[in-house]
Amino acid sequence: MAPSSPSESCPQPLSTAENDLQPFFVLHKASHHGKDRTSAGQGKSRKRNKLSPILSQSANKPEGSSTEECDRYMRRKMQIEAFDIVWTKIESTIKDVLRDLNASVFNNIQQWVMECFDAIRLVGEPSIAEATRSFPVLNNTTPLKVYSALVITRNIEFVDDIMTFEELGLFLKSHGCHVTKLSSMEFSLKNGIAGCLKALLREFIGSSFDPADIQTLASWYREQDNYNKPLVLMINDLERCCGSVLTDFILMLSEWVVKVPIILIFGVATTVDAPRNIFPSHALECLCPSMFMLVTPAERMDAIVESVFIKHCTTFNIGHKVAQLLRNYFINQDGTVTSFIRALKVACLLHFSMEPLSLIQGRVIVEDQLRNSGLSPETMLKYMEELPSHASYNLSRNKMDDQTNKSMAEGLSELLTVQKLWSTVVLCLYEAGKYSGVRLLDLFCEALNHVLYPSRDSVCKKRDEKDHDLSLTNDPCQQYSIMQSGGYICQIVRKVRDLPSGKLDQLIESWEKLTVDISEIYEKLKILQSSIRCKDGKSSLRNSKDISKRGVSKGSINNDKDSRMSNLQAIAFLDDLVRNYLRPIEGIPFHEIFCFKNVEKLQLVLIGDPRRTIQVDLLEFHNMLHCSCCNKSGKALLPSMHDSSIMYSLAQEHGDLINLHDWFQSFRTIVQHTNKRKQKPKHTPQPKKRKDTTGSEDQNEASIQARFCRGVIELQVTGLVRMPSKRRPDFVQRIAFGI
């Protein structure tokens, strides 16, 4: 699911950035532009702030020299290109991952299509004369059915699968089928059967026919080059189609299936028996369905996380909170991989636009691409010097001591190595986790959590002094710190504890594969293996003995005790790994270079939550417009407030039905309230108010009514109230309830 896919949820990269960054800017800048409080004013400010993030960023940078401008420009350019490099890398990896995930299913489908086609051909290959005939082919066999595949995209949102079906289509085309895709729009009740046939012909033949009938398709199919190929028709959202139209369509196809071997592929979002709800029985009767499962979005997600964050953890990484946010967004908001990727992209962009040091990263990547090797402090150093901030730093302090510089380089390289270790550990845990169905996404979030990390240390320290009494406790594996710290890791380890020996061996082998190039872990693994092996030897020996003298039960007990022992050792190994190497990136110096941590901004970008913000802004408006008049008063409604906010806070007192008259009365009392104490200086230059200070009473009355009306309209426009219905003309209905 490349984010530049034509689905509605992910527009082009930069536009994404700008659009999504909007709310953040508004709020950010609003503090500076406290004066203008009308919506128009905000609009203005928004326009003014259409600058790039860097501006706001550089605003709070210490130095203010004359070289600022060009310098900033330079940096900005470099930032953009760095972003491009990194993002293209991530994107390509994601693409590959997704493709690999789908490959097997695609192959299955393609085989199946061919089988169906052969089955149809077996029934009979009518000559062109017979095929274009209006009556069915005569044969004594039972009537053929329309072969149809239910491709189950196990996600109620079908955004992710648009691309999947595109690719499937290309795949089948390349394997010699005529492929077309019809959307559910073609199967609408309005156009009826004519509409979808027209679309079908347009897709297959190319030109459109005003009386579209399937006979045309038949005669087209029989022409020399088209013959001998199956016709595949993909409808990628079955649930959206109008059942009756689709029924007619299928019945018609079933009449022609011998002459026009069309094979249907439905994308089913929900469950296998979705067709049962859509089609009547006589349509189901002429379908010959078979089912294919795509991978669940959760699995996709894990694959992506693994490849992006863990395998290539040094390209770009995210902090714990960010990960948490993304995870919750995925699980609670919309579980589309697409939006996850988009979020990731935004994060990436934010990172590069806000984090000056992040420039290094881009270079690192380039370096990797040239000759993929871990980078040495020297190269690191080189980048540092080219760093513009660094240059300005030089300007300011004419002499640089390479001491700091060196240390910095060291730190960086160290960071990289630590990251490598971290990722290996996570992978090991994931391997173990596969037995207890732990999602990598969750594990990832926990592994990033730097709050947990020190606690683990402390626990194990505590353990050292009161080792002995712990050993007395009946459950020996309680002594390992990871067992105490709850969460996924704990869960995994528990599972490992109860793992049967066979599975355990598999697990250890898989660990071996993972850790083979990380020396320090590999050694530990070796130790573990050897110890377990010798034990197995012993146990097997004893077993033979036991069997010789029929103490089988006792033997078995011993046996499972041994296996428990080996499990314990495995746990010990894990515990060791977790304690020593599972250092979250945020705990390490210089991590800012690779790691994006700023949750609030990302959240603002992702979840605008307009309904909520509108209400909040109306109620606590002076958080936004810091006007001197209102902020001193706590909850009390002052006339100096903006009309609509007054009215909305008044509305809070009513139920979901607001009596207009009462509302108006209370509104007027508040506004009138001003005119009593007029002497109070006013910072809200409301033209009407100025007028009604001088104007006569009835004018005043009228203007108040006008303001009231305008307020109501504004609330309606913002979607907070609904206008009176015919039935109850004097009541407004509240639509938005508690925040």
Partner 1 sequence: MDKEEAPRRMTRFSASTSTSNILHATKGNNLETLTTNELLVGGDSISLDDIIANFPARSSQILEIARLLGPLNSPLLPLFMYGGASTGKTSIILQLFRHLNRPIVYSSCRTCYNQRILFESVLNQLLLHRKNVANCYTNAKRCERPSDFVNFLREALTSVINNLKEKSNKLVSGNKIHGGMGNIIYLVFDNFHLVRDWDKSSTILPLLFNLYDMLKMPEVGLIFISGTSPDTFYSNMGYVEPIPIYFPDYTEGDIRQILLRNQANQKLYSSFLDVALRPFCRITRQVGELSNALKPLFEKYCEPLSDKGKGVIPTEDMKRRLFNHIKPHIASSLNDVFKVSSPASSKVKVGKETKHKGSPKRSERFEEIGDLDFHMSTSAKYLLISSFLASRNPATLDASLFDSKGGSDNRKRKRKASEKVLEKKEILEEELLMKGPGTFPLERLIAIFQCIVSVAEEPYDEEEPNSNELGAECSNGSLISDVLLQLSTLCNANFIFKGKSCPIEGSTRYRSTISENLALKQVARSLKFPLSKYLYRN
Partner 2 sequence: MAPATKTNGDNSHIVEALNLLRSRICDTGFIFKDSPDGNYSKLKFMISSSVAEACNNSILLLGPRGSGKLAVLDLVLQDLLIQYPDSISVVRLSGLLHCDDISAFKEIARQLCMEHQLLFSKAASFDDNSQFMVAVLKECGLAHKSVIFILDEFDLFAQGKQRLLYSLLDAMQSVSSQAVVVGISCRLDADQLLEKRVRSRFSHRKLLFLPPSIEDSQRLLVHMLTLPIDSSLPSDYAVQFNKKVQNIIEDKKFKEIFTNYLNFDSSVKHLLRFLFYAVSHMDMQTGFLSRENFETAYSSIQRQPKLECLRNCSILELYILVCMKKLEVKEKSLCNFNAVMKEYKNIHDSFQTSDYYARNVCLRAFEHLIHRELICFTDNRGHSLSVEFRPVKLLISSAELYQGLKAYHSCPAILQKLIERDG
Strand partners, 722: 733
Sign of CA dihedral 307, 311, 313, 319: positive
Q: Quickly list DSSP for 574-612.
A: HHHHHHHH---GGGSTTGGGTEE--HHHHHHHH---HHH
Q: How far is CA 304 from the centre of its chain?
A: 10
CA distance between the termini of the chain: 35
Interface with partner 1 by CB under 8 A: which range of 361-369, 482-490, 531-539, 684-692? 482-490
* 244 binds, options partner 1, partner 2, none, Cβ within 5 to 8 A by partner type: partner 2
Among 22, 57, 93, 108, binds partner 1 (CB under 8 A): 108
CA distance 289 to 266: 10
Among 12, 40, 59, 129, binds partner 1 (CB under 8 A): 129
Q: Which of 27, 518, 572, 607 binds partner 1 (CB under 8 A)?
A: 607
Q: Is 430 in the site for partner 1 (CB under 8 A)?
A: no
Question: Nearest CA to 709 among 653, 621, 643?
Answer: 643
Q: Which does 354 bind (CB under 5 to 8 A by kind): partner 2, partner 1, none?
A: none
Closest to partner 2 by CB, 122 vs 189, is 189
Angstrom distance (rounded) from CA 441 to CA 447? 10
* Region near partner 1 per CB under 8 A, out of 292-300, 359-367, 455-463, 703-711: 292-300
Q: Does 189 bind partner 2 (CB under 8 A)?
A: yes
Q: Which of 252, 387, 391, 619 touches partner 1 (CB under 8 A)?
A: 252
Q: Which class for 374: exposed (0-12), middle (13-18), buried (19 or more C-beta within 10 A)?
A: exposed
Q: Which stretch binds partner 1 (CB under 8 A): 60-68, 539-547, 577-585, 608-616?
A: 608-616
* Window contacting partner 2 (CB under 8 A); options: 14-22, 155-163, 240-248, 654-662: 240-248
Tokens of residue 722, six digits: 């609904």
- Interface with partner 2 in residues 263-282 (CB under 8 A): 276-277, 280-282
CB 348 within 8 A of CB 596: yes
Query: What residues have CB less than 8 Å from 564, skipping those under 6 apart?
Result: 497
User: What is the smallest separation between the CB atom of 115 and partner 1, expressed in angstroms?
Assistant: 8
Residue 280: contacted member of partner 2, partner 1, none (CB under 5 to 8 Å, by partner type): partner 2
* Residues in Cβ contact with 144 at an 8 Å cutoff, skipping those fewer than 6 apart: 120, 123, 254, 257, 258
Q: Which of 484, 489, 477 is nearest to 564 (CA)?
A: 477
Q: Which is nearer to partner 2, 143 or 280 (CB)?
A: 280
Binding range to partner 1, per CB under 8 A, among 235-243, 503-511, 538-546, 640-648:
235-243
> What's the token pair of residue 565?
């022992």
Closest to 316 (Cα-Cα) out of 494, 87, 22, 153:
87
Site for partner 1 in 628-687 (CB under 8 A): 656
**H or E stretch at 32:** none
Question: Do 114 and 177 form a contact (C-beta atoms < 8 A)?
Answer: no
Q: Are 220 and 259 in contact (CB under 8 A)?
A: no
Short-list 447, 452, 451, CA closest to 424: 447
To partner 1, the closest distance from the beta carbon of 446 in angstroms equals 7
Instruction: Answer yes or no whether residue 510 interacts with partner 1 by CB under 8 A.
Output: no
Query: Which residue from 480, 467, 470 is spatially nearest to 568, judged by alpha carbons?
Result: 480
Site string for partner 2, 278-317 (x = CB under 8 A): --xxx-----------------------------------
User: Of the candidates 32, 77, 276, 406, which one interacts with partner 1 according to CB under 8 A?
Assistant: 276
| 186 close to 202: Cβ distance less than 8 angstroms | no
Query: Which of 65, 92, 328, 699 lies at the binding interface for partner 1 (CB under 8 A)?
Result: 328
What gap in Å lies between CA 734 and CA 719, rounded to an integer? 9
The entry of partner 2, partner 1, none near residue 389 (CB within 5 to 8 angstroms by kind) is none
Nearer to partner 2, 278 or 301 (CB): 278
Contact 165, 181 (CB under 8 A): yes
* Residue with Cβ nearer partner 1 (324 or 413): 324
* CB nearer partner 1, residue 170 or residue 272: 272
Q: Closest approach of Cβ 187 to partner 2, in Å? A: 12
* Between 184 and 361, CB nearer to partner 1: 184
Q: Which residues, at least 6 apart from 670, have a Cβ–Cβ distance to it below 8 Å? A: 637, 638, 639, 646, 650
Which one of residues 242, 308, 347, 582 is an interface residue with partner 2 (CB under 8 A)? 242
In angstroms, the Cα distances linking 567 to 294, 493, 571, 577 are 35, 10, 6, 15
Binding positions for partner 1, 182-201, rule CB under 8 A: 193-194, 197
Which option in partner 1, partner 2, none does residue 601 bind, with CB closer than 5 to 8 A by kind?
none
**Cβ closest to partner 1, residue 79 vs residue 449:** 449
Among partner 1, partner 2, none, what does residue 189 contact (CB within 5–8 Å per kind)? partner 2
Helix (H, G, I), strand (E, B) or coil at 318: strand
CB nearer partner 1, residue 66 or residue 141: 141
Binds partner 1 by CB under 8 A, chosen from 38, 271, 417, 530: 271
Residue 59 contact, options partner 1, partner 2, none, Cβ 5-8 Å cut-off depending on partner type = none
Task: List contacts with partner 2 (CB under 8 A).
Answer: 189, 242-244, 276-277, 280-282
